[in-house]
Amino acid sequence: MVIKTANFVKSSGKWQDCPEPTLPEYAFIGRSNVGKSSLINAMMNHKDLAKTSQTPGKTQLINHFLVNENWYLTDLPGYGYAKVSKSIRKDFEKLITNYILNRRNLVNLFVLVDIRHNPQKIDLEFIQWCGESGVPFSIVFTKSDKIKPGAVVTNVEAYKMELHKTWEDLPELYVTSAEKKEGCEEILDFIEKTNDFLTLNHVTFDE
């Protein structure tokens, strides 16, 4: 997909404040610092459309970007950020889960996972919750430039094995690097195909 325009629309503190749900929407979620904002920038070919930081917890609101005037890309706050109080963490969780469960134009959630680590409990629990809640999602491995290609393959396989303990069918998996702009085209192709499918089938998001 060619990105002609990508514009920041608004930041929202709750799902009710998000833009009118008239266009297909794709959201990025994952642990704090996993690289959500960086990957959005890489995909959009834009240095700082979404704000990034070395300090976890940078994105604290739901951020909407309008792409090619016909679909939304959404940057969500990270989950599992340890350095805030339990009650604030709960507030974030509520913000995220309410958004996911209520946003009726949300077509697919991209769950980002750092490729460098063994499968982490918090990610597996979140993926489990998506599956049980019937949320359509894909898994996106991030920061592949930080380990050797062989280790990328090994870690992806280990992740698949872990998921197979619970699920027979696995979601789509993408390996990416925001640094090297790897995997961006594959994700954009998926979005383009999905948008075409929705148009062809006259899908709208009315209540």
Interface contacts to Mg ion, rule CB under 5 A: 36-37, 58-59
Q: Which does 102 bind (CB under 5 to 8 A by kind): ligand GTP, Mg ion, none?
A: none
Closest residue by Cα to residue 32 from 13, 54, 8, 3: 54
End-to-end CA gap in the chain: 29
Contact partners, residue 202, CB within 8 Å, separation at least 6: none
Site membership for ligand GTP, residue 59 (CB under 6 A): yes
Least separation in angstroms between residue 8's CB and Mg ion is 13
Q: Which stretch binds ligand GTP (CB under 6 A): 18-26, 141-149, 153-161, 167-175?
A: 141-149
Site residues for ligand GTP, window 74-93 (CB under 6 A)? 77-78
Nearest to ligand GTP of 37, 105 (CB atom): 37
Among the residue ranges 13-21, 53-61, 167-175, 198-206, the one whose residues contact ligand GTP (CB under 6 A): 53-61
Smallest CA-to-CA distance from 13 within 79, 56, 61 is with 61
3-state secondary structure of 102: helix
Q: What is the DSSP track for 165-189?
A: TT-SS---EEE-BTTTTBSHHHHHH
Q: How many residues bind ligand GTP (CB under 6 A)?
A: 24
Joined together, the tokens standing for residue 100 give 């996911």
Residue in 142, 152, 159, 184 binding ligand GTP, rule: CB under 6 A: 142
Indicate whether 54 belongs to the interface with ligand GTP (CB under 6 A): yes
Residue pair 130/166 in contact (Cβ under 8 Å)? The answer is: no
In which element (H, E) is residue 92 found?
helix 86-102
Pick 52 or 105: Cβ nearer ligand GTP: 52
Q: Which residues bind ligand GTP (CB under 6 A)?
A: 30, 32-38, 52-54, 56-59, 77-78, 142-143, 145-146, 177-179
